[in-house]
Amino acid sequence: MHMEFPTPAIWFPHRVSYGETDTMGVLYYAEYLHIFERARSEYIRALGMSYAEVERRGIYLPVREAQCRYRAPARYDDLVLVHTAISEWGRASLKFVYELRSEDKTRLLASGMTQHALVNAEGRPVPVPDWFRNLCQNGGDA
């Protein structure tokens, strides 16, 4: 099934808070996108550079599309793990994929993706710089 999750990948842990749940007693559907954002920030940090530093170098990654498929609920106080990787590169874009799993990783709770443009401070598309692609593919190489 999920034998081919892209690499490099990280597992980002997240504890579900009260404020993220709703009247149904489950993690509210919009909160998954907040968690995905945290996961991709940590992904970039794990490779050796914070996303804040990427922005200081003049590269921004606005989200062009987001999608999430909700398979099983997460509840208050659950520790979930988000498998996170970049699955595709375009000339001036990239795509992150996410799988949100139970603490023991056996249950797939949700899967999603975010498609990003690469733009400069003026919002204009820029080709993926070599230093950024090297960073994301090898880590630490910047």
Q: Give contact residues for its own copies (rule: CB under 8 A).
A: 15, 17-19, 21-25, 28-31, 33-34, 37-38, 41, 50-52, 60, 62-70, 75-77, 114
Judged by beta carbon, residue 40 or residue 101, the one nearer its own copies is 40
Q: Can you tell me the distance from the alpha carbon of 81 to that of 105, in angstroms, rounded to the nearest whole number?
A: 7
* 22 labelled catalytic: yes
Shortest Å distance, C-beta 3 to its own copies: 22
- One-letter amino acid at 90 equals G
Judged by beta carbon, residue 9 or residue 63, the one nearer its own copies is 63
Judged by beta carbon, residue 30 or residue 140, the one nearer its own copies is 30
Tell the residue number behind the tokens 């993220």, with chain if given.
20
Identify which of 48, 124, 134, 63 has the alpha carbon closest to the alpha carbon of residue 96: 63
Shortest Å distance, C-beta 130 to its own copies: 24
Q: Please enumerate in sequence order all residues whose Cβ is within 8 A of that of 3, keeping only pairs 6 or more positions apart, or say none.
A: none
Q: Can you tell me the distance from the alpha carbon of 83 to that of 88, in angstroms, rounded to the nearest whole number?
A: 16
Shortest Å distance, C-beta 140 to its own copies: 18
Q: Do 84 and 9 meet the contact criterion of CB atoms below 8 Å apart?
A: yes
Show which residues are catalytic. 22
